[in-house]
């Protein structure tokens, strides 16, 4: 989709929510799912039984962000349903059956990232998430619960949890359900096998015994027990009870033809070469160095503003520009000012707002890692690939750095710079920094590179240290970049997606990398199989009373 009047917009705010109710009572917030059946992205399906499409998760993601930045006093968040009969029926089946393959996979990836942002809030922001389950909690609904740290379920004979995708839909739980059941909740393999093939799910004490939920209580006691547990979690949080939050002001974005512009981020689309040139601008002027002035800057604090703008651009390009397969990443500005911004992040790391800003940058960089696009970083005179912005180059599949200057350009040669932010605050999904992932065979290399903090490395030095891929000179620069872009455009996008995802995540496997590797491979494949999406496939005949017709061969 490239027409802006059809584009999916990820910008929203609580006063525009159609599917969630947010309420805050001191240290505890409640986020209640109350889906508007007619509020989906398309008019050809209804979001019955608190089922969801992308519009529901866009709001949830926005809500999670606001709870972290606008409500520092909140130490616990309860996810609940405003519907007494059903918690959530999961992803809407009519939406899935009618969506393009690409949309289904992108939808699953975004919802996975949103679930991971819940877990990140619990683990790193000390804002614990609890889930209160009453009524049916099925498929993606249970996956939402699984993202929470603690699940309390009503014991009323009707409330159950289930992952019925295999028996009902011939697909897999698309937002990490299988992995979270085994790796997070440590459900025994044989019990997990039974659970994931039961349409009706499991309820009551067995759900606790099998570790599917943490606690069951009579329905009449559910609200009381959840409130007690939430208060206990909030009391253990280090979030400041008396701090003032900052407002995540609306993003300033304009789309003019093939140019997408924010104050600090710009993308220019080259449709002939199926490429987008993304430029991130460094700070202009002094960056606040103390916590008081950082708080005063609020959402305009450069590192936070860049994180928000780049996050929105990545999502926009993913969903609305599917044929733009190569992203060329550039920066512009003063590397010294970027280093100063990084120093502010490092020196004030104990401040809650600075912590949240660094965590937002971490999540945005992870989203870049997970984007099914070829990433090339171009380091030229006038660039500011320093510290946090150098992470963009480290995330790239290839990095080209000009050796010297362009003819007629009196700017000094390009340099790159390392800061403390390159050595810990921004781990990838595999738990390693991008530098550590780059040098898997040389674990001592990162210690050597720390000695380079504060210096400006020109092309030959960067090449010798292994920090860039190629260092063409002025004569070869244009041809090398052009040929690389043309070559990428000629390859199969499917093959590139698989290759890039495989190469980006070396090293240890984590629950996070398992979720995305399985999503990228198995769910991607299953979503194309006739057993799921064929004329008589389970997604197509679901709810019609007809029986699915399966190709019985195992592949």
Residue 78 pLDDT > 90: yes
Please determine, for residue 1, whether its predicted confidence score (pLDDT) is greater than 90. no
Domain 265-502 fold: 2-enoyl-CoA Hydratase; Chain A, domain 1 (3.90.226)
End-to-end C-alpha distance for the chain, whole angstroms: 33
Percent of the chain with pLDDT over 70: 99
The dihedral built from the CA positions of residue 165, 171, 176 and 179, taken in this order, carries a sign that is positive
Is 542 exposed, middle or buried, given 0-12, 13-18 or 19+ CB atoms closer than 10 A? middle
Beta strands across the sheet bearing 86-88: 86-88, 136-138, 160-162
549: number of Cβ within 10 Å: 14
By the 8 A CB rule, do 241 and 27 touch?
Answer: yes
The two domains 4-235 and 265-502 share their CATH topology (first three levels equal): yes
pLDDT, tens digit (0-9, with 9 covering 90-100), for 352-383 = 999 999 999 999 999 999 999 999 999 999 99
Neighbour tally for 427: CB within 10 Å:
17
pLDDT in tens, 315-353: 999 999 999 999 999 999 999 999 999 999 999 999 999
- Where are the domains positioned within the chain? 4-235, 265-502
pLDDT digits (tens, 9 = 90+) for 81-138: 999 999 999 999 999 999 999 999 999 999 999 999 999 999 999 999 999 999 999 9
**Number of residues that make up the chain:** 555
Locate 265 and state its tokens: 């981020």
- The per-residue pLDDT for 265 is 98
Element (H, E) at 278: strand 275-281
Secondary structure E strands in 450-505: 456-457
What are the tens digits of pLDDT across the range 244-275? 999 999 999 999 999 999 999 999 999 999 99
State the Cα–Cα distance between residues 16 and 63, nearest whole angstrom: 11
What class does CATH assign to 4-235?
A: alpha beta
User: What angle is formed at CA 305 by the lines to CA 325 and CA 450, rounded to 5 degrees?
Assistant: 80
pLDDT at 175: 87
Q: Give dist(CA 113, CA 119) in Å, integer.
A: 10
* CA-to-CA dists, residue 246 to 237, 351, 455, angstroms: 19, 13, 34
φ, ψ at 456 (rounded to 5°): -105, 120
Residue 2 pLDDT exceeds 70: no
Q: CA 435, CA 510: separation in Å to the nearest integer? A: 18
Q: What is the pTM of this model?
A: 0.96
117: Cβ–Cβ under 8 A, 6 or more apart, which residues?
61, 64, 65, 363
Across the chain, what does the average pLDDT equal?
95
For the segment 187-243, what is each residue's pLDDT rounded down to a tens digit?
A: 999 999 999 999 999 999 999 999 999 999 999 999 999 999 999 999 999 999 999
Instruction: Look at residue 394 and give its three-state secondary structure.
Output: helix
- Selection from 51, 31, 232, 23 nearest residue 135 by Cα: 51
| Model confidence band, residue 174 (pLDDT cutoffs 50, 70, 90) | confident
Tell me the chain's radius of gyration from C-alpha atoms.
24
DSSP lists the bridge partners of residue 276 as: 269, 327
């Amino acid at each position: 989709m490239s027409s802006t009047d059809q584009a999916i917009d990820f910008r929203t705010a609580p006063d525009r929510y159609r599917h969630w109710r947010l309420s805050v009572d001191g240290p505890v917030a409640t986020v209640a799912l109350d889906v508007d059946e007619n509020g989906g992205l398309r008019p050809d399906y209804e979001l019955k039984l608190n089922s969801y499409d992308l519009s529901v998760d866009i709001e949830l993601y926005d809500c999670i962000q606001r709870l972290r930045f606008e409500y520092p006093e909140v130490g616990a968040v309860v996810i609940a349903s405003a519907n007494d009969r059903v918690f959530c029926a999961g992803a809407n089946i009519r939406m899935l059956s009618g969506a393009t393959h690409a949309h289904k996979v992108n939808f699953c990836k975004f919802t996975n990232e949103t679930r991971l942002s819940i877990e990140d809030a619990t683990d790193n922001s000390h804002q614990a998430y609890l889930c209160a389950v009453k009524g049916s909690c099925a498929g993606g609904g249970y996956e939402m619960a699984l993202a929470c740290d603690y699940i309390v379920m009503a014991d009323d004979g009707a409330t159950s949890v289930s992952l019925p995708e295999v028996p009902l839909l011939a697909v897999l739980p698309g937002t990490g359900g299988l992995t979270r059941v085994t790796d997070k909740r440590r459900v025994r393999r044989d019990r997990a096998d039974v659970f994931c093939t039961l349409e009706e799910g499991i309820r009551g004490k067995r759900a606790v015994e099998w570790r599917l939920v943490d606690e069951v209580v009579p329905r009449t006691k559910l609200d009381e027990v959840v409130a007690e547990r939430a208060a206990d979690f909030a009391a253990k949080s280090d979030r400041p009870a008396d701090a003032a939050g900052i407002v995540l002001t609306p993003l300033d974005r304009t789309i003019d033809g093939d140019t997408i512009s924010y104050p600090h981020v710009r993308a220019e689309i080259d449709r002939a070469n199926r490429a987008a040139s993304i430029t991130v601008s460094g700070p202009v002027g002094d960056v606040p160095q103390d916590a008081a002035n950082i708080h005063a800057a609020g959402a305009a604090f450069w590192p936070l503003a860049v994180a928000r703008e780049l996050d929105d651009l990545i999502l926009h390009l993913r969903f609305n520009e599917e044929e733009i397969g190569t992203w060329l990443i550039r920066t512009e500005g003063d590397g010294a000012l970027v280093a100063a911004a990084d120093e502010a992040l490092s020196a004030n790391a104990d401040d809650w707002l600075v912590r949240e800003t660094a965590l937002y940058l971490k999540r945005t960089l992870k989203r870049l890692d997970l984007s099914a696009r070829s990433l090339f970083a171009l380091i030229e005179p006038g660039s500011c690939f320093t510290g946090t912005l150098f992470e963009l180059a480290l995330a790239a599949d290839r990095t080209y750095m000009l050796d010297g200057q362009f003819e007629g350009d009196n700017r000094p040669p390009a340099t790159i710079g390392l800061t403390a932010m390159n050595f810990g605050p921004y781990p990838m999904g595999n738990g390693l920094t991008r530098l550590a992932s780059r040098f898997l065979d040389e674990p001592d290399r990162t210690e050597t590179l720390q000695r380079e903090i504060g210096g400006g490395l020109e092309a030959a030095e960067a090449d010798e240290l292994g920090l860039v891929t190629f260092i063409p000179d002025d004569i070869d620069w244009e041809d090398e970049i052009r040929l690389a872009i043309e070559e990428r455009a000629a390859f199969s996008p499917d093959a590139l997606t698989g290759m890039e995802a495989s190469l980006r995540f070396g090293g240890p496997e984590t629950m996070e990398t398992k979720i995305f590797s399985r999503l990228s491979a198995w769910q991607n494949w299953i979503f194309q199989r006739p057993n799921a999406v064929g004329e008589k496939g389970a997604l197509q005949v679901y709810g019609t009373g007809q029986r699915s017709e399966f190709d019985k061969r195992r592949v």
